Structure 1
Amino acid sequence: MTAVQVRLAQGTPCWVSLTTGDPDGAKAFYGSLLGWEFEPGPTRLGDFVRAALNGTEVAALGVVPPGTAHPAGWTTYFTVDSADRAAQRIRECGGTVAVGPLTTDRTGRTAIAADLSGAVFGIREAAGHLGREVAGEPGRQAAGRPGAPTWNELVTGDEESATAFYRAVLGRSVATGIRYRAARPGGPSRWRVHFAVADTDLTVHRALALGGVLRAGPYDTPDGRVAWLADPQGGRFAVAGPARTGSGPV
Structure 2
Amino acid sequence: MAVQSEGVPCWADAMFADVESAKSFYGDVLGWTFGEAATEFGNYTEVYSDGKAVAAVVPPMPGAEGQSAWCLYLASPDAAATARKIQDNGGEILMGPMQVSDFGTMVLARDPGGVVFGVWQAGTHEGFQAMGTRGAYCWAEVFTREPGKSDGFFPAVFPYRAKTMETPEGIDFRVFHVGDDPVLGRMEMGDEFPPEVPPYINVYFGVDDCDAAVAKATERGGAVVWGPMDTPFGRFASVRDPQGATFSVIDMSRTEGEMPAMTDVP
- TM-score where L is the length of structure 2: 0.83
Q: How many residues align?
A: 234
More off after superposition, 237-246 vs 29-38? 237-246
Could you say which residue in structure 2 is the equivalent of 1:181? 187
Divergent runs of 4+, >6 A:
none
Point out where structure 1 has 5 or more consecutive residues left out of the alignment.
Answer: 137-144
Mapping of residues 89-238 of structure 1, within 5 Å:
89-136=85-132, 145-173=133-161, 174-175=176-177, 176-185=182-191, 188-238=198-248
Q: Deviations over 1:81-136 (max 9, x none)?
A: 11111111111111111111111134310011110111110000100111001001
In 2, Cα distance between equivalents of 1:161 and 1:234: 26
Does the C-alpha gap of structure 1 residues 69 and 21 become closer, same or farther in structure 2, counting only changes over 3 Å? Answer: closer
2:254 to 214, 219, 243: 243
- Residues 157 and 183 in structure 1, CA contact (< 8 A), matched pair in contact too: yes
Does the C-alpha gap of structure 1 residues 170 and 69 become closer, same or farther in structure 2, counting only changes over 3 Å? Answer: farther
2:47 maps to 1:59: no
Q: 2:156 corresponds to which letter in structure 1?
A: A
Q: CA deviation at 1:33?
A: 1.1
Q: 2:112 corresponds to which letter in structure 1?
A: L
In 1, Cα distance between equivalents of 2:218 and 2:67: 23
Q: 1:148 corresponds to which letter in structure 2?
A: A
In 2, Cα distance between equivalents of 1:29 and 1:69: 20
Q: CA deviation at 1:204?
A: 0.5
In 2, Cα distance between equivalents of 1:69 and 1:169: 29
More off after superposition, 64-73 vs 227-236? 64-73
2:71 maps to 1:75: yes
- Residues 156 and 189 in structure 1, CA contact (< 8 A), matched pair in contact too: yes
The RMSD of aligned alpha carbons is: 1.9
Partner-residue secondary structure (3-state), 1:243: coil
- TM-score where L is the length of structure 1: 0.88
In 2, Cα distance between equivalents of 1:19 and 1:70: 9
Does the C-alpha gap of structure 1 residues 223 and 155 become closer, same or farther in structure 2, counting only changes over 3 Å? Answer: same
Q: Deviations over 1:184-207 (max 9, x none)?
A: 245632101001111111110011
Q: 1:162 corresponds to which letter in structure 2?
A: S
In 1, Cα distance between equivalents of 2:39 and 2:100: 8
